[in-house]
Structures are given as C-alpha cells and as structure tokens.
Amino acid sequence: DSGHPTQCVLDLEGGPGEEHRAFSFGNGETGEAVVDGVTIRNGYTTGNGGAILLDGASPTLRNIIFQDNQAGTGGAVYCSASSPVIEGCTFYGNSADLGQALACENSALPVLSRVLISGSGGSGQPVHCAGELDMASFACSDIFGNANGDWTGDLLGQLGVDGNFSLDPVFCGAEAGDLTIRENSPCAPGWHPEGGAACDGLLIGAAPTGCTIDLFDAVTTGPVAVSGDSRAVAVGDYDGDGDPDIFVVGHNSADVLLRNEGAGVFIDATAAPLGDGGAGTSAAWADFDNDGDLDLYLARLNEADLLYRNEGSGTFSEANIWALGDIGPGVDVSWVDYDNDGLLDIYLVQDGQANIMYRNLGNLGGPYWYFLPSTDGPLGVAGSSSSADWCDFDHDGDQDVLVVNSTGNSFLVNYSPFGFADEGGSTPLSDSGVGAGADWGDLDNDGYLDVYIANNNQPDLLVRNDAGIFTRSADPNLADDGPGQGAAWGDFDNDGLLDLYLARNGEADLLFWNAGMGSFNPVSVPEATGNSRGVAWADFDGDGDLDIYIARDGDNVMLNNIYNPGRHWLHIRLVGTAANASAIGSRLRLVAGDLDLVRDVQSSSGYLSQSSLLVEFGLGQVAAIDSLIVEWPSGAVEAYTNLPIDRIVEIIEGLGPSAVEDLPISAVFALRGNVPNPFNPTTVIRYELPAEAAVNLQVFDLRGRLVRSLRSGEMEAAGPHQVVWNGRDSAGRQVSSGTYFYRLNAGDHEAVRRMVLLK
C-alpha cells in the first residue's frame, strides 16, 4: 500500500509470447485481502484477466490504476465465482474480446464504486457478464469514451442511477500516460454532475487531480479598459466586417464605441453623435429599418432616449422617429418583433413608471419612421423594474417576456393576437427577491429554454422549464446570495452545454460550469473582482470560443477565453428577409451525433446588456453536422445539412447558407467579396471555378426578391472570372440604396455574399 498508485508501478511488459499478469487469487480470499495503491500496466494473456485473475476469491481492490492490459476475457480483471469489492480504481486503455475492463462468469457479483473506465479497446464492451447469475453493480462511477459504447450491454439501466454518469473525465495527458485529471473534471472531488455533495465529494477513479485550468487572459489596459461608471455593454457587428464590436454605456460618463479590427484588437471609434455623456443605462443593437446594418437604441434615466441610425458607412445619425424620445426613468431596452410583422419593436423598462411597448409601424416616407407607444395592459407593468428578457418559452411561435422587478417579477405570456397575460402566478418566476437581471437558455438540452434570475444580495435562482412547467432547481450552487447583477448563458468550453457567467457588484464574478445532468460548479473569477454590472459573451478574437466583456463602475475588463479544450464549434449568423433582418426571435435546432441543441436569437441578456446576435454552438468532439433547422419569426422553417464546422456560417432566409470566410468550397471554388463595397454606382463581383460549369449569378434584395440575373446558365471555363453590376435591375432601373445579396451557383457549388449600395 503506497497510498498513491503512481508511486508504485508494476509494469508487466507482457505481449504475445510473454504472458504476464500481476495477481491471481484462488484460495477463497475475502475482503480482508487487499490490493491498494498500485498501477498495473501492460499485463497480457490470451486467457482470462490481463492484470488480476479472481477464481473463487473476493478480495478488495482499491485505489488501483489498470492501464493498457490485454486479455482474451477480462482485459484488466476477470472474476469467476467471485464477489470482490472494487473501489476508487481507474481503468484506462485495457482491451479484450469479452469485457474490455472487467469480465464476470460463474455467478460472479463484483461491487464497484467510484470507478472510472475510459479508453478501452478490443471487440468487447467495457464490462461482460456471461450468465443470468453474473452482475457487476456500479455506484458513483464514470464510464466514458470506450470503443463499442459505454453504459451498454450488461450495464444497461445503471447510467444515471446511484450517481453513475458518462462524461469526459478530462485527463491531463492520457496519450502520454498521465492519467491524473484536471481540477474541473467531473471525477474530481466536488465536481460530480449531481453536485459537489454527491458521492460524499470524493475522487472518482484512482488518479488525483494533476493539472490546473487557465481560463482567462484578462485585458485591463488599452481601449477596452474603459474608465468611468459603465452600466451596460452591447455587442454587435455595426460595420459588417464579421468582427463583433462593443458599445459601452456610461452613466454620467461618456459612452464609447469600440471597433474590432480583427483578432480581438480594438480601437476607440466613438464619433458624434455617439459619445453621449448623459445618464445612460442600457443599449441594444438591431437593424430596425431592415437596411442591412445594425442601429442602436440608448436608454437614459430621466433624460430623452436616443436612437442612432446606422448610415452604412461606419457613421451614425440621430434617427427621425415619431413618438420616441421618452424622458422617463428608462433603465433597460430590448428589441422584439412581438407581433411577427417583420418589423422590430422596442420594449422599454422603467423604474417606478409603466413600461412602454413601442410598436414599429414602419417607414412614413424618406427618413421618417413611426413607433406607436403603449403602456396599456400587462406590458405596461409599473414597479421597480430592472430588466426584460424575451424568449418563446412554449414553442408557439411568438415572444414572451420575463420582467424582473425588485418586488416580484412579471411573466407575460404572448397570446397573439389577443395580447399578453401575466402567468407568473405561483411559479418560481414570480420570485420576490431584489431582482437585477435574468437570461434564458436551454441548460439541459431538452429543447425548452430555462431561466436564471440574479438577485442583489439575496439568493439567485435557476428555474427549469419542462415543456412549460416551471420548477426551481435544487442545486445549491446556483443559489448565490451575493450582489448579483448581470447573468448570461454561453457555451464557454464548446462542449454543447451552456455555462453561466454571473457579474457581481463588489465581489469576484462567478462562472457556473455546466457539468451535465443539470448540475453546475461555481468557479470564482478573480480577474473580474470589482463593481461589475453588465456582461456579454462574444467570440471577440475569432478563435471559435466565447470571450466575455464586463461593464463596471471603474475600469472595464475583457476576459479572453484561453481554456482551449480543442473542441469543435459552429457559429450561425442569420439574416431575415420576410422576418426582421436581425432575425431576432428565430429558433435554431442543431443535431450532431449525440448532441441535440436548441438556441434562440435574443436581443438582450442579463442586466441591461446584450451578447452577440450570432448563435454559437459548441460541438464537443463531434466533427459533422447532421442537420440544422431554423424557425424564422416569419413562420418559415428551413432545414440544412452538410454544413461545415469550425467557422461562421451565414444563413439568409430563403437563400440558404454560405461560409463567411473567403475559403474555397473545394480546392479552387470561391465567391469573393465585391469591390468596392460599399459602392456607387458599379461594383465588380469576382469568383473562381474548379472546372468548367454552367454558371448562375443572381442579385437579390433584403426580402429575397430577384433583382437581376448577371449570369443565366452560361458555360464558363475553370479559373477566375469577374462580372460588373451597374446597380440596375432587370428592367434597367437604378435600384435604391441598401443591402443586396449575390448568389453564385456553379455545378455542385453554391455561395452567397452581401454588398451595400450607397448613394
């Protein structure tokens, strides 16, 4: 008994012609005979038990690493007429024709607890029980990543029972022989997927934690470290270059626009009329006029709100909007197409006065738009409101809203066309804590969005949505009673499970790491200790994982995600045509291998803030997409297959997907960006063909209507080509300013890009 299995290693150096195992028990030994604290590796036999053979003996096997052992039956351990106790052991890389790790015959009844089985090979399954009287009983064990399945065959029915699970144990370096686990492994003490108290908080397996996690690289200098009393952050690609930009809302300090130059390098691009120094509280990006670029609404406390219209050239103007400019105590703003008419409406939350719904009635001609304000009905709830968070919780195709108040929340269900009704009632959603922010997300991948509600110095709560039935999560880790402010869901580690970031005012922020099976582990974020308010997720540096920006009273901070577990991902940018151009309110369902993920396009997250409008999917180790279904707010439903991974894909309603990057679809097929862009009045469209093909090149407007066919089935040779478009439609009429799409079809290849005509 060395106490540590890595300090006592029995390398048997077995192989064909050199059959060796470590131990054979056959004299009726009982549990008083103990093997403890050893690594047994490279055992080999064509018979039974590559490491240990038990024949009519039932010793205790404890704290053992079984590594790379091989046998005909029972790659590591073979039990015949035996009932051993096997606890705290790691089985890795063992193989057999029957029972990769363990085999049971002749009324064998082994009892296993806190066991980890992974990386097994051979033609068998992890555990083999030969007869009806043979059974291996597991508790608090993880079986994951084995050839031919995990909790299958003779183990059916034990997954999810008695603390058993199947999750990546996250070895520090299994390929190099290091079977210690990372400190956030679900097998590490306190990280069990059912919560830290499960299995008495003990280690699962024999190898302890051996490596720490570096999560973030904090950026606390330069343009992103905005100083002042920042209340909120809104993320949006205002210049259409594919990189998420940041708008920081200052409260009696100047607002700041940070333009992303690529790879997470930002410059201060604030220019009039932006840079307001008033009592800003919240902001949100959306393309309210459906012209192809993002506009910005700024809510202010007891000062007139502002709507900045994007002029399409990186500049903004104050929009000419009838009925806007509320001077009440506005605190939070969100965009929503609550009536699904293709026009984004504005919902303004006020502190102490009735909330306002501004219905977008569209363009009145020229630069004038009209929004009809209303404080009637449940949407006009008056109280100490702090935020509003929209989603389609019941899958009926329209948007519902949770209004967070400090005296009791309102859950307003959309019964379109009959209006809204407060259905919070006795559900946990009507929580009477001092609410700050909330965010919707499908934490358990059951297809229904759950919600986390952050309360200030009172216990937070996670409310689970089970097909429209709301229950409060019993996970004590999610009942933080600190000064919670902003909460936002994002798949931090790209494993297909949404994690939660919680900004706290005066204490270190928390990252709630989703361990699966509805369980979370809180990780303190010391890099973000301060007066945090709003928080937003986005892939700021374009490396495929989500980073975090935090608005604070003091110096803001960006947390670049450096965890990098090497998992796959897919980010989707939706462009509505019949639906609103920002596609807010769309629902996406992605199926890839064992993953079945549902995400919504939402305009607000947490407290006063907005994360990226892209939909970010983590895929884990899955390397192919089976299908993606998009439900547009217009009612259209579109399905796609054969999507690429590890990149951004843009999907235009009615036109389909295309990869955003200038990467060839095959060796030399590419649709290049038009030059110049924006343009007036002509532009050049360039493309390359891998072989001779019939070419169709068409121009569409934002509504998906055909404007002009520039190529109509003409045969073109392999190589580069270019076409000039003069900005005229098929009838020779000059088209108006705005965003257009051009689609190239050539043989089996297709690609779509966008361009902007400015006059």
* 664 belongs to a structural domain: no
Is there a single domain that holds both residue 561 and residue 606?
A: no
Mean pLDDT of 697-707: 89
Q: In this predicted structure, what is the pLDDT of residue 359?
A: 95
Integer angstrom CA distances of residue 592 from 348, 620, 649, 650: 38, 10, 16, 18
CA atoms of 99 and 93, how far apart (whole Å): 12
Domain end marker among 519, 551, 569: 569
Amino acid symbol at 70: Q
> Could you give the percent of the chain with pLDDT greater than 90?
69
Phi, psi of 633 (to 5 degrees): -60, -20
Range of the domain at 691: 670-757
CA atoms of 253 and 553, how far apart (whole Å): 10
CA atoms of 86 and 58, how far apart (whole Å): 10
503 pLDDT tier (thresholds 50, 70, 90): very high
171's CB contacts (< 8 A; 6+ apart) are: 92, 118, 178, 179, 180, 181, 182, 207
* 634 belongs to a structural domain: yes
Predicted confidence (pLDDT) at residue 732 exceeds the cutoff of 90: no
Is there a single domain that holds both residue 488 and residue 373?
A: yes
Predicted confidence (pLDDT) at residue 2 exceeds the cutoff of 60: no
Strands ordered across the beta sheet of 738-746: 706-716, 693-700, 738-746, 749-757
Is there a single domain that holds both residue 607 and residue 493?
A: no
Is there a single domain that holds both residue 490 and residue 553?
A: yes
* 421 belongs to a structural domain: yes
The answer to whether the beta carbons of residues 540 and 611 sit under 8 Å apart is: no
* 210 belongs to a structural domain: no
Is there a single domain that holds both residue 640 and residue 697?
A: no
Predicted confidence (pLDDT) at residue 86 exceeds the cutoff of 80: yes
Mean pLDDT of 258-276: 94
* 663 belongs to a structural domain: no
The domain that holds 689 is classified in CATH as 2.60.40.4070
Residue that has been written with the tokens 């991902």 in this structure: 569
pLDDT digits (tens, 9 = 90+) for 469-500: 999 998 888 888 989 899 999 999 999 999 99
CA atoms of 334 and 704, how far apart (whole Å): 26
For 288, half-sphere exposure in the C-beta direction (CA atoms, 13 angstrom radius) is 30
Q: In this predicted structure, what is the pLDDT of residue 657?
A: 79
Is there a single domain that holds both residue 240 and residue 355?
A: yes
Strands ordered across the beta sheet of 627-631: 595-600, 587-592, 627-631, 637-640
DSSP 8-state secondary structure symbol assigned to residue 121: B
CA atoms of 528 and 533, how far apart (whole Å): 11
Predicted confidence (pLDDT) at residue 563 exceeds the cutoff of 90: no
The domain that holds 444 is classified in CATH as 2.130.10.10
The answer to whether the beta carbons of residues 689 and 716 sit under 8 Å apart is: yes
Count how many domains the chain has.
4
The answer to whether the beta carbons of residues 581 and 601 sit under 8 Å apart is: no
Predicted confidence (pLDDT) at residue 170 exceeds the cutoff of 50: yes
> Would you give the end-to-end CA distance of the chain in angstroms?
82
539's CB contacts (< 8 A; 6+ apart) are: 244, 545, 546, 547, 571, 612, 614, 616
pLDDT digits (tens, 9 = 90+) for 216-264: 999 999 999 999 999 999 999 999 988 999 999 999 999 999 999 988 8
Residue that has been written with the tokens 């389909």 in this structure: 656
For the ranges 129-133, 335-339, 596-600, the lowest mean pLDDT is seen at: 129-133
Is there a single domain that holds both residue 369 and residue 272?
A: yes
Is there a single domain that holds both residue 173 and residue 311?
A: no
Q: In this predicted structure, what is the pLDDT of residue 661?
A: 43
CA atoms of 530 and 595, how far apart (whole Å): 37
Predicted confidence (pLDDT) at residue 725 exceeds the cutoff of 70: yes
1 pLDDT tier (thresholds 50, 70, 90): very low
Residue that has been written with the tokens 């790691």 in this structure: 90
Amino acid symbol at 52: I
DSSP 8-state secondary structure symbol assigned to residue 123: S
Residue 638 DSSP SS3? strand
CA atoms of 207 and 193, how far apart (whole Å): 18
Predicted confidence (pLDDT) at residue 583 exceeds the cutoff of 70: yes
Integer angstrom CA distances of residue 422 from 346, 409, 425: 19, 10, 7
Q: In this predicted structure, what is the pLDDT of residue 751?
A: 84
The answer to whether the beta carbons of residues 300 and 281 sit under 8 Å apart is: yes
pLDDT digits (tens, 9 = 90+) for 538-555: 999 999 999 999 999 999
Residue 7 DSSP SS3? helix
Predicted confidence (pLDDT) at residue 383 exceeds the cutoff of 90: no
195 pLDDT tier (thresholds 50, 70, 90): low
Mean pLDDT of 149-173: 91
Residue 476 DSSP SS3? helix
406's CB contacts (< 8 A; 6+ apart) are: 383, 384, 386, 433, 434, 435, 456
Alpha-carbon dihedral sign for residues 664, 670, 671, 672: positive
Q: In this predicted structure, what is the pLDDT of residue 663?
A: 35
Q: In this predicted structure, what is the pLDDT of residue 115?
A: 98
Is there a single domain that holds both residue 317 and residue 256?
A: yes
Phi, psi of 35 (to 5 degrees): -110, 125
Q: In this predicted structure, what is the pLDDT of residue 196?
A: 67
Mean pLDDT of 426-448: 91
Nearest to 65 by CA among 159, 187, 163: 187
Q: In this predicted structure, what is the pLDDT of residue 478?
A: 85
Is there a single domain that holds both residue 640 and residue 498?
A: no
DSSP 8-state secondary structure symbol assigned to residue 367: T
CA atoms of 142 and 201, how far apart (whole Å): 14
Q: 3-state SS string over 659-671?
A: ECCCCCCCCCCEE
Residue 361 DSSP SS3? strand
CA atoms of 6 and 227, how far apart (whole Å): 50
The answer to whether the beta carbons of residues 752 and 741 sit under 8 Å apart is: yes
197's CB contacts (< 8 A; 6+ apart) are: none
Predicted confidence (pLDDT) at residue 610 exceeds the cutoff of 60: yes
Render 254-313 in DSSP notation, one character per residue.
--EEEEE-STT-EEE---TTS---SBEEEEEEE-TT-SSS-EEEEEEBTS--EEEEE-SS
Amino acid symbol at 278: G
Q: In this predicted structure, what is the pLDDT of residue 471?
A: 95
CA 426-428-433 angle, to 5 degrees, is: 110
What value does the mean pLDDT of the chain take?
91
Is there a single domain that holds both residue 45 and residue 145?
A: yes
Domain end marker among 569, 604, 635: 569
* 192 belongs to a structural domain: no
* 190 belongs to a structural domain: no
State how beta strands 52-55 and 77-80 pair.
parallel
For the ranges 22-26, 306-310, 638-642, 668-672, the lowest mean pLDDT is seen at: 668-672
Q: 389 is written with which tokens?
A: 């968070």
Predicted confidence (pLDDT) at residue 659 exceeds the cutoff of 60: no
Q: In this predicted structure, what is the pLDDT of residue 3?
A: 60
Predicted confidence (pLDDT) at residue 325 exceeds the cutoff of 80: no
DSSP 8-state secondary structure symbol assigned to residue 483: B
Integer angstrom CA distances of residue 664 from 267, 276, 669, 714: 31, 43, 5, 22
* 197 belongs to a structural domain: no
Q: What pTM was computed for the model?
A: 0.74
Domain end marker among 657, 689, 716: 657
Is there a single domain that holds both residue 576 and residue 546?
A: no
The answer to whether the beta carbons of residues 558 and 258 sit under 8 Å apart is: no
Integer angstrom CA distances of residue 551 from 13, 51, 251: 58, 57, 11
Nearest to 134 by CA among 180, 158, 103: 103
| Neighbour count for residue 36 (Cβ, 10 Å) | 17
Integer angstrom CA distances of residue 485 from 386, 507, 679: 10, 11, 44
Integer angstrom CA distances of residue 205 from 144, 149, 172, 182, 435: 12, 19, 14, 13, 41
